[in-house]
Amino acid sequence: MNLHLHSSVTKLIENIEITGSKSESNRALLLQALYPALHIENISNSDDSEVMQKGLKILNGEVDIHHAGTAMRFLTTFFATQEGREVVLTGSQRMKERPIKILVDALKQLNASIEYTDNDGYPPLKIVGKNLSANKVTMAANVSSQYISSILLSAPFLQNGIILELEGKITSVPYINMTLGLLSQIGVTSTFEGNVIKVEPIADIEKAKTIVVESDWSSASYFYSIIALCDVGSTIKLSSYKKDSLQGDSVLAEIYKDFGVATTFEDNTISITKERAVARDTSIQIDLSNAPDIAQTIAVTSFGLGIACDLSGLHTLKIKETDRLEALKAELGKLGAEIEVTDKELHLKPSDYINPDIAIDTYNDHRMAMAFAPLALKTSIIINDAEVVSKSYPDFWNDMKKLHFNLKEL
Ligand SMILES: O=C(O)C1=C[C@@H](OP(=O)(O)O)[C@@H](O)[C@H](O)C1
Ligand SMILES: C=C(OP(=O)(O)O)C(=O)O
C-alpha cells in the first residue's frame, strides 16, 4: 500500500493514546513464559510483540519471528535454556542478514547447543534446549545490546544465574538497564558495575506480580516531530507515560527542547507543545549511541525545519531493519537534502526547499515510514509500502488521521 499524504494543518491540539513499549513488552513476555504468575498490563499491539507471544508457545519445530530483532535475540537464549524443546529459529530475509554470532558464541561458552542452518553467524538457528549450569560469559558489547539483554532475561531461570563480562564500549546502554529494571520488578537481584553484570537465580517469583508497560517512547518521537514542524501553540497530549521511564528514548523530552518543543508531565500524560520558533541558523548535534531508534525522526525533523544536523553514535544503524544510514541518505536526498553519512555519523546541511510529491521508499523499515510522514505538514509526500508501520505501531496511520492528515491510497 502506497499512501499519498498531505496536511493543511498548521496548528494542532489533539490527544493520542499509544500502546505499550515493544521493548518492554517483549521482555515482560519472556519473563512471563519463565514465571507464569506474572501479569502484564498495557502490552504492545505491535507485530513484533505478537510474534514474540506466538514464538514463546512453540515447543518444537519452526519459530518464525519475521522482522523482530528483539524476538530473534531474546528467544535464542530462551530456547537454548529450555530442556526438552528443539526449534529452528528463523525470520524474514532481512533477519537472515542481521548478525547473531556474538550471542551464539557467548551461549556456547555455557555449553548451549546451537547450529547455523544456512550461513555461519546468521539466522536461522537450530537450537536444542539444555539445562545449562555454567554461569560465566564474556561477550562484545559494542555491536548490539540485544545480545546482552537476551542472556540477562533468561539468566534468573538458570541454576547458577549469570556473571557476564562485557568487552568494548557498551552500546545502547539504556536497553540493558531496562532489562535489569524489569528483572528487579519481579524480584530478581542484579548488579551492573563497570563492565560486569551479575544476575542471581530465582526458581520462582514470590507472589503474583504485575508489570505495567509504559507506552512506547520511540512511537512518541513521531509526534514530537509533528509538533516541531507545527506553529507555536500546537499541543499533542500522549498517554500513558512516566517521568521515571525505563526507556532511553524518553531523552526525546530533552532533545526536542532544541526544536522549540516543551514537555510537561501530568499524571500519566505528557503534553508536548511548540513553545518557540527555531532560528534557521540552529544546528543540532547529538550522540545517539544510547537512543539509536530516534535517529531517523531527528534527521527528518531537522530537514523539515531546514536546519543543520550532525548525528553521531549511529554505528548500530547499519544492522537494523535496513541500513538506516544509507536509507536516510537516499530518501532525504530525493527530497533535496544535502546529506552525508559515514558508517556511524550523519551530517545534514541547512536547506530552504523540499521537493514535492516525492515517493519515499521504506525498505521494510517501519521507522522510515513513520519518520518521513510528518513532512506532509510541509509538502505533499508519498510513503511507499506504508503498512510496514505495524512492526511497532499498527495504529499509526489512524492516529495520523486523528491529527487531520489527509491520506489517500494510490
Ligand atoms: O533491547 C531492545 O529492546 C532494543 C535495543 C536496541 O537495539 P541495539 O542494542 O541493537 O542498538 C534498539 O535499537 C531496538 O529497537 C530495541
Ligand atoms: C531496531 C528496531 O527493532 P529490532 O532490532 O528489534 O528489530 C526498531 O524497532 O527500531
- Each residue of 113-124: pLDDT tens digit? 999 999 999 999
Report whether residue 98 contacts ligand 2, using a CB cutoff of 6 Å.
no
CA-closest residue to ligand 2 atom 3: 69
Report whether residue 367 contacts ligand 2, using a CB cutoff of 6 Å.
yes
Report whether residue 91 contacts ligand 2, using a CB cutoff of 6 Å.
no
How far is residue 136's CA from residue 165's CA, in Å, rounded to a whole number? 8
Beta strands 162-167; 406-409: pairing state? unpaired
Ligand 2 centroid, distance to 23 Cα (angstroms): 9
The CATH code of the domain at 3-20+214-409 is 3.65.10.10
ipTM of the complex: 0.99
How far is residue 18's CA from residue 240's CA, in Å, rounded to a whole number? 7
Phi, psi of 17 (to 5 degrees): -105, 130
pLDDT at 168: 98
Residue with cell 538506516: 324
87-118 per-position pLDDT tens digit: 999 999 999 999 999 999 999 999 999 999 99
Q: Is 293 a catalytic residue?
A: yes
228-269 per-position pLDDT tens digit: 999 999 999 999 999 999 999 999 999 999 999 999 999 999
Phi, psi of 260 (to 5 degrees): 80, 15
Section 62-73 average pLDDT: 98
Q: Is 57 annotated as a binding residue?
A: no
Nearest CA-CA partner of 293 in 347, 338, 250, 258: 250
284-315 per-position pLDDT tens digit: 999 999 999 999 999 999 999 999 999 999 99
As given in the structure block, the three cell numbers for residue 349 are 546541511
CA-closest residue to ligand 2 atom 2: 320
Report the nearest atom of ligand 1 relative to the CA of 178. Answer: 1
Indicate the length of the chain as a whole number: 410
Active-site option among 249, 293, 323, 399:
293
| % of the chain at pLDDT higher than 90 | 99
The answer to whether the predicted template modeling score (pTM) of the entire model surpasses 0.80 is yes
Q: Which of 44, 70, 146, 388 to mutate to test the pocket of ligand 2 (most atoms within 8 A of CB)?
A: 70
The CATH code of the domain at 22-212 is 3.65.10.10
Report whether residue 82 contacts ligand 1, using a CB cutoff of 6 Å.
no
Report whether residue 316 contacts ligand 2, using a CB cutoff of 6 Å.
no
pLDDT at 207: 86
Q: Is 172 annotated as a binding residue?
A: yes
Write out the residue limits of the CATH 3.65.10.10 domain(s) in the chain.
3-20+214-409, 22-212
How far is residue 5's CA from residue 408's CA, in Å, rounded to a whole number? 7
Report whether residue 70 contacts ligand 2, using a CB cutoff of 6 Å.
yes
170-225 per-position pLDDT tens digit: 999 999 999 999 999 999 999 999 999 999 999 999 888 999 999 999 999 999 99
Report the nearest atom of ligand 2 relative to the CA of 70. Answer: 6
**Torsion over CA: 163, 166, 172, 177 (sign):** positive
How far is residue 361's CA from residue 388's CA, in Å, rounded to a whole number? 11
Over the chain, what is the mean pLDDT? 97
